[in-house]
A and B are shown apart, each in its own frame.
Chain A
Amino acid sequence: ETGVTQSPTHLIKTRGQQVTLRCSSQSGHNTVSWYQQALGQGPQFIFQYYREEENGRGNFPPRFSGLQFPNYSSELNVNALELDDSALYLCASSLGTGTSNQPQHFGDGTRLSIL
């Protein structure tokens, strides 16, 4: 069973640039959730994709966008980067059933630094 993998592991960008982060879900999982984890804080929900459709969004501006592919892998795109976007971006996959909660398993994350 392959776990959740994310790329790249580290990234340095400057203000105003754009970035794309990638996530491969665990085998058999159809749901990907993205979280932002600032230093010393708990993960904050950005959005979730279920069977290629956005299935919920947290309190993040529209410059945070994403998509999910037919193989259930996912991308997180952030436009017009700001200094406050510096954080660890975590992807979690799960088997969405629509009715019951299923455990979410996290990848190692992408550490994004904005200069």
Chain B
Amino acid sequence: GENVEQHPSTLSVQEGDSAVIKCTYSDSASNYFPWYKQELGKRPQLIIDIRSNVGEKKDQRIAVTLNKTAKHFSLHITETQPEDSAVYFCAASKAGNTPLVFGKGTRLSVIA
């Protein structure tokens, strides 16, 4: 089955700097890759997603890139702010109504 690896497990950046989180997946049939932000004690919140027919997607300060050949995708957050501090999860799934396979998460701390 699908296996998703996520790095790093923890990341500290200065406010205003950029943060990059990377994920790799094993199943070449996976074609949908969402990213979730989970603040302490709260629900995972979908922040951006990308499908395999697109190489990059951007939404304000957040962008995701996908390399299907290498089977990896990355989350880029620019101009980080303290409220970006949270645990970020990447996930992958195949076509159709299929479950998400999550990475283990990255704890991002933005230091003011």
Contact = CB atoms under 8 A, between A and B. Distances in A.
B97 interface: yes
Q: Give the one of A43, A99, A106 with max B CB within 10 A.
A: A43
- Chain A residues touching B, range: 20 to 34
Q: Give the one of A40, A42, A98, A109 with max B CB within 10 A.
A: A42
Tell me the interface secondary structure of chain A in the complex: loop
Interface string A25-50: 00000010101000011111100101
B25 interface: no
Interface in B79-104: 89, 91, 93-104
Tell me the interface secondary structure of chain B in the complex: strand
Interface string A82-115: 0000000010101011111111111111000000
Contact of A99 (B34, B95, B103): B95
B100 A104 contact: yes
A56 B99 contact: yes
Interface residues of B, number: 28
B4 to A, nearest CB: 8
Interface in B40-56: 42-46, 49, 51
Contact of B44 (A43, A94, A98, A102): A43
A18 interface: no
Interface of B: 4, 6, 31-32, 34, 36, 42-46, 49, 51, 89, 91, 93-105
Given A56-B97, A104-B34, 15 more contacts: A35-B102, A42-B4, A42-B105, A43-B89, A43-B102, A45-B99, A45-B100, A50-B97, A58-B99, A101-B51, A101-B93, A103-B46, A103-B49, A104-B100, A109-B43
